[in-house]
């Protein structure tokens, strides 16, 4: 049993088989520098809870035990439900999945966010990422003109 | 992959320590690595073109050569998502009919080529893995033709250096982004000193100016050097009467290309389609006027010969599209069909491969496996048997 502690002090108990889904934690365990409670200083409790929920589901799916194994279709459906979250939470999850090195979760989250933003306008993109428009009006006009067909 | 994400994690940790109040979204956008890795590389090209105008940093990231190479690596051999059909107009810039092959293609990138000014306009000579080779149109002055390499997705172009020497018989583009971001242009010119010999010059986007490759070689008189197809590292040219050839760009040698034997009674090839798709080279020849079977041949990877890949029953197509029928020979119960093969498009999965046919008034798609049809477009573009009037469009950020 491994215990993780979030940045805001929440603790989570994990079976080892789940803990190894988080590559960062797995490396710590292998290096034998895992204490009884592993601090995860970059990740808030509510985000860490979500990460662990994903890992628990995905471990069960690769388990040999037939009764817990989910079909690929069921797992995909579960994933689709899992990502129904607000944008801010999705971005926080991306940072957490990257820090904890969970490739399948990171791919799922990044593709979800990419699909959410691909149809947006440049102005909407600036709002989401809090980016300042540093083009002059003439410069922006020229770039838009060159790529006008992509806006239609 | 592990070392990359470790690097990203370390960088992230230092970012987080300095900006605990900022949203995760802003942190990601502030780091070029994270932004590219997490989001930009996963966006469709059309979205990337829109997002060039988000900020100077996003513009710089999206137009960066390294980024375009990484994007290409993610999908090394994309299939054509559309075709451009050339409609020459004698007094003006040729117009291009846009034929979408994919639901994502809702707007044509252009209807005529205006990236640079020429009184009689610009035409496409060849399309190769996302880039076009184009030339200006001149009527009396073929020595002053200007040649361009153009990316129809980004609208960027480069002008090829002028050519000197004999008459230009053909200009061919060799570009394979899955192998290299460098493209080469192969120019075949008639040899000034010997009337039946030709000479090859090569231009490279990396090393620049035209340089001669090998010496003059004897070329078949009927060879059309302007209709080259780039496949498997070489430019291939078909000749109706004599030997067909290919020029291997790695070894810079000219070799004979094996062709299927001519049927009895024919001394000239009738080639109705010769083109490449998704790393396969296809050939369609039709010898009888009243043929009911269209056979698509594919070349073996080692160039040892051709094999029959697809078969299309034209009688079946005619039942659905009677406009295909031009004539009927009652005594033999033969139909004469009128059509032009625009493209053999291979799918990532075999069963998604299809044929794009131009029949009077329509462009249709025919799936080889399911034998189902799709009307793509109504068009009043006239049918022609000129092989080079349909050009594949492949979205690409590749630099010219």
| Angle CA B271–B343–B355, to nearest 5 | 105
- For the cut 60, the answer to whether the pLDDT of residue B267 exceeds it is yes
| Measured distance CA(B98)–CA(B377) in Å, rounded | 9
List, in order, residues 6 or more apart from A130 with CB less than 8 Å away.
Answer: B22, B23, B25, B26, B29
What digits encode the pLDDT tens for the residues B84-106?
998 877 777 888 999 999 888 88
Give the number of other CB atoms < 10 A from CB of residue B243. 14
Q: Select from B28, B34, B35, B54 the residue whose CB has the most chain A CBs within 10 Å, as the one to mutate to test that interface.
A: B54
pLDDT at B205: 96
With helix as H, strand as E and coil as C, how does chain B read?
CHHHHHHHHHHHHHHHHHCCCCCHHHHHHHCHHHHHHHHHHHCCHHHHHHHHHCCHHHHHHHCCHHHHHHHHHHCCCCCCCEEEEEECCCCCCCEEEEEECCCCCCCCCCCCCCCCCCCCCEEEEEEECCEEEEEECCCCCHHHCCEEEECCCCCCEEECCCCCCCCEEEEEEECCCCCCCCCEEEEEEECCCCCCEEEEEEEECCCEEEEEEEEEEECCCCCCCCCCEEECCEEEECCCCCCEEEEECCCCEEEEECCCCCCCCCCCCCEEEEEEECCEEEEEECCCCCCCEEEEEEECCCCCCEEEEEEEEHHHHHHHCHHHEEEEECCCCEEEECCEEEEEECCCCHHHCEEEEEECCEEEEEECCCCCEEEEEECCCCCCCCCCCEEEECCCCCCC
Residue A102 and residue A55 in contact, taking contact as beta carbons nearer than 8 Å: yes
| Measured distance CA(B42)–CA(B34) in Å, rounded | 12
Average pLDDT of B229-245? Answer: 94
Closest chain A residue to the Cα of B63, Cα to Cα: A143
* pTM for this model (two decimals): 0.87
Which one of B6, B55, B110 has the shortest CB-CB distance to A132? B55
Q: Select from A105, A118, A123 the residue whose CB has the most chain B CBs within 10 Å, as the one to mutate to test that interface.
A: A118
| Measured distance CA(B270)–CA(B288) in Å, rounded | 10
- For the cut 80, the answer to whether the pLDDT of residue B161 exceeds it is yes
Closest chain B residue to the Cα of A146, Cα to Cα: B155
What digits encode the pLDDT tens for the residues B175-225?
999 899 999 999 999 998 887 899 999 999 999 899 999 999 998 888 889
| Measured distance CA(B91)–CA(A126) in Å, rounded | 46
- Give how far Cα B175 sits from Cα of B186, B237, B297, B330, B398, Å: 11, 16, 23, 49, 10
pLDDT at A101: 93
Average pLDDT of B285-294? Answer: 86
Whether A101 sits inside 8 A of B9 (CB atoms) is: yes
Here the tokens at position A113 are 């966010």
Residue A118 and residue B43 in contact, taking contact as beta carbons nearer than 8 Å: yes
DSSP annotation of A42 reads T
Whether B53 sits inside 8 A of A144 (CB atoms) is: yes
Mean pLDDT over all residues of chain B? 89
A-facing residues of B in 183-202 (CB < 8 A) are: none
Where does residue B133 rank: exposed (0-12), middle (13-18), buried (19+ CB within 10 A)? buried
Strand pairing report for A37-39 and A2-5: parallel
**What are the backbone dihedrals phi and psi of residue A12, each rounded to the nearest 5 degrees, phi first?**
-135, 130
Closest chain B residue to the Cα of A144, Cα to Cα: B53
Largest CA distance in chain B: 88
List, in order, residues 6 or more apart from B214 with CB less than 8 Å away.
Answer: B200, B252, B253, B254
Question: pLDDT-based confidence at B17, cuts 50/70/90?
Answer: very low
Whether B5 sits inside 8 A of A143 (CB atoms) is: no
- For the cut 50, the answer to whether the pLDDT of residue B2 exceeds it is no
Residues of A in contact with B112 (CB under 8 A): none
Which one of B26, B28, B53 has the shortest CB-CB distance to A140? B53
- Whose CA is closest to B157, among B173, B141, B179? B173
Positive or negative, the Cα torsion across B116, B117, B118, B122? positive
Exposure on the CB side of residue A121, measured as CA atoms within 13 A: 6
- For the cut 50, the answer to whether the pLDDT of residue B1 exceeds it is no
Is A75 at the interface with chain B, CB within 8 A? no
| Measured distance CA(B256)–CA(B259) in Å, rounded | 9
- For the cut 80, the answer to whether the pLDDT of residue B297 exceeds it is yes
Whether B9 sits inside 8 A of A98 (CB atoms) is: yes
**What are the backbone dihedrals phi and psi of residue B291, each rounded to the nearest 5 degrees, phi first?**
-80, 140
Give the number of other CB atoms < 10 A from CB of residue B198. 21
Question: Coil, helix or strand for A94?
Answer: helix
Question: Coil, helix or strand for A7?
Answer: coil
pLDDT at B260: 93
- Whose CA is closest to B171, among B390, B399, B398, B388? B388
pLDDT at B18: 43
Residue B11 and residue B31 in contact, taking contact as beta carbons nearer than 8 Å: yes
- For the cut 70, the answer to whether the pLDDT of residue B16 exceeds it is no
Is A35 at the interface with chain B, CB within 8 A? no
Q: Which residues of chain A have pLDDT under 70?
A: 32-35, 60-70
Whether B13 sits inside 8 A of A110 (CB atoms) is: no
């Amino acid at each position: 049993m491994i215990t993780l502690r979030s940045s805001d002090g929440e603790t989570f108990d994990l079976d080892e088989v789940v803990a190894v889904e988080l590559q960062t934690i797995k490396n710590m365990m292998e290096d034998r520098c895992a204490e009884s409670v592993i601090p995860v200083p970059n990740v808030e409790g509510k985000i860490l809870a979500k990460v662990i929920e994903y890992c628990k589901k995905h471990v069960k799916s690769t388990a040999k035990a037939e009764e817990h194994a989910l079909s690929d279709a069921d797992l995909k459906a579960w994933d689709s439900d899992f990502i129904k979250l607000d944008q801010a939470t999705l971005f926080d999850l991306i940072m957490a999945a990257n820090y904890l090195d969970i490739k399948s979760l990171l791919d799922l989250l990044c593709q979800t966010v990419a699909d959410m933003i691909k149809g947006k306008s440049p102005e909407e993109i600036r709002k989401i990422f809090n980016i300042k428009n540093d083009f002059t009006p003439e410069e922006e006009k020229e770039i838009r003109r060159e790529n006008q067909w992509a806006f239609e | 992959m592990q070392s990359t994400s470790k690097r990203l994690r370390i960088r992230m940790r230092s970012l987080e320590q300095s900006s605990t109040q900022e949203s995760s979204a802003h942190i990601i956008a502030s780091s070029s690595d994270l932004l590219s890795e997490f989001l930009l590389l996963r966006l469709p090209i059309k979205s990337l073109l829109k997002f060039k105008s988000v900020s100077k940093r996003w513009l710089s990231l999206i137009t960066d050569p390294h980024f375009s190479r990484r994007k290409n690596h993610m999908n090394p051999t994309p299939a054509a998502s559309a075709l451009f059909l050339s409609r020459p107009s004698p007094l003006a810039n040729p117009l291009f009919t846009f034929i979408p092959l994919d639901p994502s293609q809702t707007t044509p990138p252009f209807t005529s080529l205006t990236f640079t000014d020429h009184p009689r306009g610009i035409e496409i000579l060849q399309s190769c893995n996302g880039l076009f080779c184009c030339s200006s149109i001149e009527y009396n002055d073929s020595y002053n033709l200007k040649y361009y390499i153009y990316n129809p997705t980004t609208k960027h172009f480069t002008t090829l250096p002028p050519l000197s020497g004999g008459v230009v018989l053909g200009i061919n583009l060799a570009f394979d982004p899955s192998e290299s971001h460098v493209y080469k242009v192969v120019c075949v010119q008639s040899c000034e000193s010997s009337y039946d010999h030709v000479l090859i010059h090569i231009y490279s986007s990396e090393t620049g100016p035209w340089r001669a490759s090998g010496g003059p070689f004897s070329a078949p008189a009927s060879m059309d050097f302007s209709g080259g197809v780039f496949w498997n590292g070489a430019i291939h040219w078909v000749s109706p009467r004599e030997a067909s050839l290919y020029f291997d760009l790695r070894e810079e040698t000219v070799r004979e290309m094996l062709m299927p034997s001519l049927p009895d009674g024919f001394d000239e090839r009738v080639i109705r389609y010769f083109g490449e798709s998704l790393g396969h080279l296809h050939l369609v020849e039709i010898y009888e006027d009243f043929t009911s079977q269209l056979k698509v041949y594919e070349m073996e990877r080692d160039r040892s010969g051709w094999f029959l890949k697809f078969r299309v029953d034209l009688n079946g197509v005619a039942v659905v599209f009677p406009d295909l029928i031009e004539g009927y020979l009652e005594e033999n119960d033969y139909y004469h069909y009128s059509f032009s093969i625009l493209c053999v498009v291979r799918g990532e999965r075999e069963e998604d491969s299809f044929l794009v046919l131009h029949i009077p008034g329509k462009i249709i798609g025919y799936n080889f496996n399911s034998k189902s049809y799709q009307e793509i477009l109504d068009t009043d573009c006239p049918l022609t048997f000129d092989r080079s009037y349909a050009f594949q469009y492949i979205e690409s950020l590749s630099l010219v």
